Amino acid sequence: MALKKWSHEQIIGALSSPFCLSLLFLVSVLFVFKFAIGKSKSKTNPNQLPSPPKLPIIGNLHQLGTLPHRSLRDLSLKYGDMMLLQLGQKQNPTLVVSSADVTMEIMKNHDRIFSNRPQHIAPKILLYGCDDVGFGLYGENWKQKRKLCVSELLNMKSVQSYHFVREEEVDELVNKLREASLNDECVNLSEMIISTSNNIVCKCTLGRKYEGDNEGNVKELARKVMIYLQAFAVGDYFPSLGWIDVLSGKIREFKETFRELDSLFDQVIEERLALKKKMENDQFKKKGFVDILLQLQEGGMLGFELSNNDIKALLTDMFVGGTDTASATLEWGMSELMRHPTIMKKAQEEVRRVVGNKSKVEKDDINQMHYLKCVVKEILRFHPATPLMAPRETISSVNLKGYNIPEKTMVYVNSWAIQRDPKNWENPEEFMPERFEHSQVDFQGQDFQFIPFGFGRRGCPGMNFGVTTVEYVLASLLYWFNWKLPFETNSNEQDIDMSEVFGLVVTKKEPLRLKPIAFSF
């Protein structure tokens, strides 16, 4: 008999159903009596952080909801910028941070202590035992790999050297949109943006893009990995019930996806090594990250061992993280511009004035587009790609703002809540790029009210790569086309569905469908 696969929402729903909760309460009543005295004392402890009331066994797990960044913000308004949650049967509680002030304290005084990662089931399976930069344990090996990524792959000089890739893929996107415009057609802009982002990332990371059926398979693989990295696994919160993940088929799904990913990278490495043998080094110019890593591995210039699995783990970070973050930002950005025609018009006028009558947007043009950069900043503030940052874990106990935080406490920083905090932002629930026109606030990780890419040791090393891609694609979409809602849409721009789907990257629930109108210069 085939076993039923349960989704995150189904598992949460089953665990939090009235019948199940009643049963769990009866089972746990002895434990309640056992720890009653201890709990009573903890309530009078002045160093005990506030915590929402919790249920037996599941703790506060039911309060995360389907959009945890929003649910946790609502809880923080009642219980404070620092609050403790008990998520399932985990031994230590989870700290949720929802203020720029606390984030600054962590960064300036305790960054190293808050730089570990909890070792959850999905990342361990999908990321070669968490041997990557995004989810790896903090330590000397991790520091060497992060330094490698920053110095060799993702520095600004390297990012700019891949402009020809962005240019090629955006030209292809513009041609498809121009054809749709000539045929008076509407397009699924979300899908086209995802495809363009995936092609850019594949070329830069793996040395080539995938077309036809292969493109769909590779794109779907990247999306699956991103979804699974944030997927709910029972064993992460109820260690004694990890067998449920096996019976439900979740572990099998993770392992099958890993085998697909591993097979893809083995094929890529084999192809790139074979290609290099056929060409002289000076001819091998269009190198991807994989080529650089293989060259460093072969030359033994790193001072530490870089295995093929290490290379594949790093490629997973680039391949998976680079696609969804850029495409989601562009998708939210175009949606907001459609909902705010005045802002759209102002951005288009600037882009067209700077570019003039040239045949394409050039990379040097972007630096002259001050308002476009404000628009991108506001997109990142209003719709951070990872609104609930990947969890951290404390390396040792620490005193934070007068509270004792024990070792191995899992920590969530709610950047979405921080970036919509009225203490830091005027009219935070309004999309207003003008707020950045005369402001020095930036997303480099030093302005703690604005941290879409994280901060400190765990800040995103691919920030420059992502922002450069978003700016160039957005400028091109605004330069070449005006945009209208589909013919069948009778509502106005404000009625565009802005519903979210939660994951490591939060995406639009409904794709953005628009009609491109080629602009006549």
Q: Is 2 inside any structural domain?
A: no
Whether 356 and 365 have beta carbons less than 8 Å apart is answered as: no
Residues 6 or more apart whose CB falls under 8 angstroms from that of 521 comprise 352, 357
- Residue found under tokens 């995103």: 460
- Mode of pairing for the β-strands spanning 513-518 and 187-188: antiparallel
Measured CA to CA, the distance from residue 486 to residue 186 in angstroms comes to 6
Residue 43 included in any domain: yes
CA 434 to chain centre: 25
Handedness of CA 24, 27, 33, 37 (dihedral sign): negative
Sequence-separated (6 or more) residues with CB below 8 Å from residue 231: 8, 122, 250
- Residue 1 domain flag: no
- Residue 186 annotated as part of some ligand binding site: no
The owner of tokens 């950005």 is: 333
User: Is residue 134 a contact partner of residue 127, using CB atoms and an 8 Å limit?
Assistant: yes
Q: Do 412 and 397 form a contact (C-beta atoms < 8 A)?
A: no
Instruction: Give residue 284's pLDDT.
Output: 52
CA dihedral 427, 429, 431, 437 (to 10 degrees): 30
Distance of CA 233 to the CA centre of its chain: 19
Residue 209 lies in a domain: yes
Domain count, the chain: 1
Q: H/E element holding 228?
A: helix 213-229
Q: How many C-beta neighbours within 10 Å does residue 520 have?
A: 5
Q: Which of 80, 51, 167, 43 is nearest to 421 (CA)?
A: 80
Mean pLDDT per block of 10 residues along the chain (521 residues) reads 45 46 41 39 60 95 95 97 94 94 97 97 96 95 94 92 95 97 96 95 91 81 90 94 96 97 95 81 68 88 88 93 92 97 98 94 95 98 95 96 95 98 97 96 94 95 96 98 80 82 92 94 72
Q: What is the DSSP string of 276-323?
A: HHHS-TTT--S--HHHHHHHHHHHT-SSS---HHHHHHHHHHHHHHHH
Enumerate long-range contacts of 237-246, CB under 8 Å, 24 or more apart. Answer: 237/61, 237/87, 237/88, 237/89, 237/90, 238/88, 238/89, 239/89, 239/90, 240/89, 242/121, 245/121
pLDDT, residue 281, reads 55
Cα-Cα-Cα-Cα torsion 309, 315, 317, 320, nearest 10 degrees, comes to -120
Q: What CATH number is associated with residue 359?
A: 1.10.630.10
Tell me how far apart the alpha carbons of residues 371 and 382 are, in angstroms, rounded to a whole number: 16
CB neighbours of 190 closer than 8 A, spacing ≥ 6? 327, 331, 508, 511, 512, 513
The structure tokens listed for 462 are 């691919």
**Spatial CA neighbour of 472 closest among 204, 259, 220, 234:** 204
Report residue 517 as tokens. 């109108």
- The phi-psi region of residue 4 (left if phi > 0; otherwise alpha if psi is between -120 and 50; otherwise beta) is beta
User: In degrees rounded to 5, what are phi and psi of residue 26?
Assistant: -65, -40
Residue 3 forms part of a structural domain: no
Max CA distance (Å), the chain? 77
End-to-end CA distance of the chain, in Å?
64
pLDDT at 303: 81
Residue 230 is assigned to a structural domain of this protein: yes
**Does the model's pTM come out above 0.75?**
yes
Bridge-partner residues for 412, per DSSP?
96
Does residue 113 lie within any of the structural domains? Answer: yes
CB 412 within 8 A of CB 60: no
Q: Which residue has the tokens 């973050």?
A: 325
DSSP character string of 377-443: HHHHHHS-SSSBPPPEE-SS-EEETTEEE-TT-EEEEBHHHHTT-TTTSSSTTS--GGGGTT----S
Residue-range definition of the domain harbouring residue 269: 8-518
The CA–CA distances, whole Å, from 395 to 43, 110, 112, 115, 118 equal 26, 10, 8, 7, 10
* Residue 356, helix vs strand vs coil: coil
